[in-house]
Chain A
Amino acid sequence: MIVHLLTLVWNRWRSGMLVVVEIFFCFIVVYAVLAAGAYFAEQYAHPLGFSYENVWNISMEYRGEYPGAVEASERTQRLLQAVRSIDEAEEVASATVVPYGSSTYMRSFELKGHPVSVLSNWADAKFDDVMGIQPVRGRWFEEGDESQNWIPMIINEHLAQAIFGKEDPIGKLFPTMSEGERERRIIGVIRDFRSGGELSVPDNYYFEYAVSKDTNAMMPRDIVFRVRAGTQAGFSERLVERLHAEYPDTIYRIKALVDMRKSAMQTKLVPLLIAGIVAGFLLLMAGLGLVGVLWQNVSRRTREIGLRRAVGAGVRDIYKQILGELFVLMSFALLVGTLLVLQVPLLNLISNVPVSVYFTSLAGALGVMYLLALVCGLYPAILATRIQPTEALHYE
């Protein structure tokens, strides 16, 4: 049966070849869009590690020279106090990197001779309450942690796995990142803290305790606070005035994390949406083209099909022939396409993409293309079954 179909297709390779080319390009487009979608879906499935509802962020832009560590930490305390003084704020904390913000800090250390990069953040003792972070092992920072002669540190599971494998990391020393720094000790492990949001790549992450007796205390950059559920946005003007009264040399911007999340999502998803729409239209175009070609094919082969009907071929046999030929062409194009797209993971052309993404999108694209073949082949096949044996006999 299959050999017979192959022979039929091979004898008419010239008309089939262009269809193959078209299907091939179509497959590549569908695969690319599905792979991008699958990549985002894969990221989305990972736990975020924090909650963003009812959390607001104040980002602070200081315009001036660094006033020294004492002044910097005093500023942080006074600004935190100012936010606490408004009724709406339930929990208030400060951190250097907030979720959905634009800044990230990356450091690196050496592990078994290989450089490992890690996202870093500095947070205070209340940050876990505001962001709803639950340590899976150990504990979060506590006031008084600054009195240790080492820097308390909290790492995510990804990083714990990378450094310590299956061992319990609590109480262990963190690898040195640069010469002359104080040693860091791990006091807790969190599930994750994906500050880039749901669509960011899960990565190594650590928190250092922001309150320290070090001489290099940073200028306050971000304050986050949790409000009661259902609080309206009306308080931000009052809050800005309050903060401005405290330190007028800084620009304050207040935003709900929900809004920051929305715009962060949009910048990543809108291009994918546009690509998806364009790919959808290309698919429609290719599908219509396929219907046209098959239709014409059937009407040209009236004699052949009529003859088959005359010698006793049933409706099912005709369906089998028309659809079978299409599937042979389709499979040939998809085989070439699959071999081509498999080069991407094999040659590791794009880094940082999990292998599963390639295979789910490959399976998805193959499924879409075969479905397209079925839908496009159906109408011409029905036309073919309606051919009467008598029509065929007119010709000779």
Chain B
Amino acid sequence: MIRNYLLVAWKVLLRRKFFTFISLFGICFTLMVLMMAIALIDHTFAPHEPETRLDRMLGIYTVTLKSPSRNSITVSSPGYGFLNRYARTLPGIQDFSICTATSSFSMFVRGRELTLDLKQTDGAYWRILDFTFLEGRPFTVEEDNGGIPVAVISDAVRRQLFGKESALGRTITAEGKLCRIIGVVTSVPILRAAAYADVWVPVGAFREGPDTELTGRYRALILAKSASDFPRIKAEYQARLRQVEFPDPTEYNLIISATETFAEQIAGEIVPNLFGIEDAKYPVNILLWFGGLAAFLFMLLPAVNLVNINISRIMERSSEIGVRKSFGASSRALVGQFIVENLVLVSIGGALGLLMSWLMLRWIAALELIPHAEFQLNYRIFLYAFFITVFFGVFSGVYPAWRMSRLHPIAALKGGVRS
């Protein structure tokens, strides 16, 4: 029976090639656009090397200070001393690292200016993140504490500075300080916020200013033992914020901060700007709902298009349906047949769309729009593609099938259908 349906479906697809082309084009293109968006989001938010433990990572990115009258507000990165004193000893964490955001510096290589991004990190950083070392090693906690000027560079920097030669033992001048290179890692794309830099140096060798300041230019990376410890860590951090000693309580006497996952941090930045919602409790959910709604609206146009084409197809076949109905085919059998036909069409479109998104992603990676980024189709993306295809199949098949089953056999046989 199913074999028969499939055979008929194939014949129908071949009969009106123009309609088949329109349907396939629509499915293919929609799937491709959505796949690109999903691949980009997946590439940004899902665990990828070197952030393989992203699901267990939290960060402290900002502190907000408020004056006693609440009129004066400062938003800044946390200070080193603050993080050390109030966050390092949070319970339930496996590892704790203090680093800076990247800052760019330029150097000249054979008369050409080279702008590189520098990140100051500590020894624990290399345990939290999972870098692939091409040569050498990361710097240790002891080297960081001792303030020894060493550096880890990326593969791309090694290529630009030393060509194909080994970089170990060579030096690089970062922010006016001569550092000995002790390791080379695989280049990291800019979208990996915690890991990205071109040159990594020990925070101990570059740290300046007093230790007591609440604000500074640092951030903390926290590796929890498991994601189920997140609520406990967050609650404890909030409890400690209430005990913070202020250097000058008449200037600022309230501190607001949070331990956030990477997605929470990004959503916390986007949501107030995009929707004007301040202090949303679940910014990630708002963003997900918005993204889902946008994707749904985007799919609506191709889906309606597909419904239109499908109805046209059915009306054209009204005499066939009339014959089948007169010989006793039930409405259910007809609906079943049509839905199978539609699923065949949609699956072909889905497969083509997936193939095209794969080619497009390869092409985009080759263009190097985002340096070192490798967009790959993984099982997660494949799963999304499957859901989108099923959405299309069901959404575009049900209404035409219902219309089909309601055709009156006599009218259908005459070919004159009121619509």
A interface residue numbers (CB < 8 A to B): 12, 14-15, 18-19, 21-22, 25-26, 29, 61, 63-64, 234, 236-237, 240, 248-249, 251, 253-254, 278, 281-282, 285-286, 288-289, 291-293, 295-297, 299-300, 303, 395
Q: Is the CB of A234 within 8 A of B26?
A: no
**B111 at interface, CB cutoff 8 A:** yes
Q: With A and B bound together, what is the CA distance between A282 and B299 in angstroms?
A: 10
- B111 interface neighbour in A237, A254, A295, A303, Cβ under 8 Å: A237
Residues of A contacting B106 in the complex (Cβ-Cβ under 8 angstroms): 240, 253-254
Of the listed stretches B81-89, B135-143, B302-310, B374-382, chain A binds B302-310
Residues of A contacting B29 in the complex (Cβ-Cβ under 8 angstroms): 281, 285
Q: Is the CB of B113 within 8 A of A236?
A: yes
Q: Is the CB of A296 within 8 A of B316?
A: yes
**B161 at interface, CB cutoff 8 A:** no
Using A19-B308, A21-B304, A251-B175 as known contacts, say yes or no to A285 and B25 having CB atoms under 8 A apart.
yes
Residues of B contacting A286 in the complex (Cβ-Cβ under 8 angstroms): 301, 305
Q: Is the CB of A292 within 8 A of B312?
A: yes
Q: Is the CB of B308 within 8 A of A18?
A: yes
Q: With A and B bound together, what is the CA distance between A217 and B323 in angstroms?
A: 92
Q: With A and B bound together, what is the CA distance between A376 and B159 in angstroms?
A: 55
Q: With A and B bound together, what is the CA distance between A272 and B304 in angstroms?
A: 25
Q: Is the CB of A289 within 8 A of B108?
A: no
Residues of A contacting B328 in the complex (Cβ-Cβ under 8 angstroms): none
Chain A nearest Cβ from B316, distance in angstroms: 6
Residues of B contacting A253 in the complex (Cβ-Cβ under 8 angstroms): 104, 106, 115
**B390 at interface, CB cutoff 8 A:** no
**B208 at interface, CB cutoff 8 A:** yes
Q: Is the CB of A18 within 8 A of B105?
A: no
Q: Is the CB of B419 within 8 A of A292?
A: no
Known: A236-B108, A236-B113, A281-B33. 12 other contacts (CB 8 A): A18-B304, A19-B308, A29-B301, A63-B175, A237-B111, A237-B113, A240-B106, A251-B105, A285-B25, A285-B29, A292-B309, A300-B315
Q: Is the CB of B113 within 8 A of A22?
A: no
- A289 interface neighbour in B104, B176, B308, B419, Cβ under 8 Å: B308
Using A248-B176, A251-B175, A296-B316 as known contacts, say yes or no to A18 and B311 having CB atoms under 8 A apart.
yes
Contact flags B264-308 to A (C-beta < 8 A → 1, else 0)? 000000000000000000000000000000000100111011011
**B327 at interface, CB cutoff 8 A:** no
Q: With A and B bound together, what is the CA distance between A370 and B104 in angstroms?
A: 51
Q: Could you give 21 example pairs across A and B, Cβ below 8 Å?
A: A15-B419, A22-B301, A22-B305, A25-B304, A236-B108, A236-B113, A237-B108, A237-B113, A240-B106, A251-B105, A253-B106, A253-B115, A254-B113, A281-B33, A282-B301, A285-B26, A286-B305, A289-B309, A291-B22, A292-B309, A292-B312
Chain B nearest Cβ from A71, distance in angstroms: 18
Among B301, B415, B416, max chain A CB count under 10 A is at B301
- B301 interface neighbour in A25, A234, A291, A300, Cβ under 8 Å: A25
Q: With A and B bound together, what is the CA distance between A312 and B105 in angstroms?
A: 82
Q: With A and B bound together, what is the CA distance between A195 and B234 in angstroms?
A: 42
Among A240, A278, A285, max chain B CB count under 10 A is at A285
Q: Is the CB of A292 within 8 A of B22?
A: yes
Contact flags B79-115 to A (C-beta < 8 A → 1, else 0)? 0000000000000000000000001111010010101
Which 3 residue pairs spanning A and B have beta carbons closest together?
A: A296-B312, A289-B305, A25-B301
| Interface of chain A: mostly helix, strand, loop or mixed | helix
Chain B nearest Cβ from A19, distance in angstroms: 6
Chain A nearest Cβ from B108, distance in angstroms: 4
Chain A nearest Cβ from B375, distance in angstroms: 15
Q: Is the CB of A293 within 8 A of B309?
A: yes
Q: Is the CB of B307 within 8 A of A234?
A: no
Q: With A and B bound together, what is the CA distance between A156 and B351 in angstroms?
A: 58
Q: With A and B bound together, what is the CA distance between A369 and B338 in angstroms?
A: 32
* CB-CB nearest in chain A for B369: A270
Q: With A and B bound together, what is the CA distance between A47 and B19 in angstroms?
A: 50
Give the residues from 338 to 381 in chain B that come closer than 8 angstroms, CB to CB, to chain A.
none
Using A14-B419, A300-B315 as known contacts, say yes or no to A288 and B301 having CB atoms under 8 A apart.
no
Residues of A contacting B21 in the complex (Cβ-Cβ under 8 angstroms): 288
Residues of B contacting A303 in the complex (Cβ-Cβ under 8 angstroms): 416
Q: With A and B bound together, what is the CA distance between A282 and B208 in angstroms?
A: 55
Residues of A contacting B419 in the complex (Cβ-Cβ under 8 angstroms): 12, 14-15
Q: With A and B bound together, what is the CA distance between A106 and B22 in angstroms?
A: 53
Contact flags B122-147 to A (C-beta < 8 A → 1, else 0)? 00000000000000000000000000
Using A25-B300, A25-B301, A285-B302 as known contacts, say yes or no to A292 and B105 having CB atoms under 8 A apart.
no
* CB-CB nearest in chain A for B318: A300
Q: With A and B bound together, what is the CA distance between A278 and B309 in angstroms?
A: 21
Q: Is the CB of B301 within 8 A of A285?
A: yes
Q: Is the CB of B25 within 8 A of A288?
A: yes
Q: With A and B bound together, what is the CA distance between A19 and B108 in angstroms?
A: 61
Q: Is the CB of A285 within 8 A of B305?
A: yes
Residues of A contacting B18 in the complex (Cβ-Cβ under 8 angstroms): 292, 295
Using A251-B105, A288-B25 as known contacts, say yes or no to A300 and B304 having CB atoms under 8 A apart.
no
Residues of B contacting A19 in the complex (Cβ-Cβ under 8 angstroms): 308
Q: With A and B bound together, what is the CA distance between A6 and B112 in angstroms?
A: 70
Chain B nearest Cβ from A348, distance in angstroms: 14
* CB-CB nearest in chain A for B209: A65
Q: Is the CB of B22 within 8 A of A289?
A: yes
Chain A nearest Cβ from B229, distance in angstroms: 37
* CB-CB nearest in chain A for B111: A237
Q: With A and B bound together, what is the CA distance between A299 and B415 in angstroms?
A: 11
Chain B nearest Cβ from A81, distance in angstroms: 22
Residues of B contacting A282 in the complex (Cβ-Cβ under 8 angstroms): 301-302
* CB-CB nearest in chain B for A251: B105
Q: Is the CB of A22 within 8 A of B304?
A: yes
Chain B nearest Cβ from A298, distance in angstroms: 11
* CB-CB nearest in chain B for A270: B369
Using A63-B208, A251-B175 as known contacts, say yes or no to A293 and B312 having CB atoms under 8 A apart.
yes
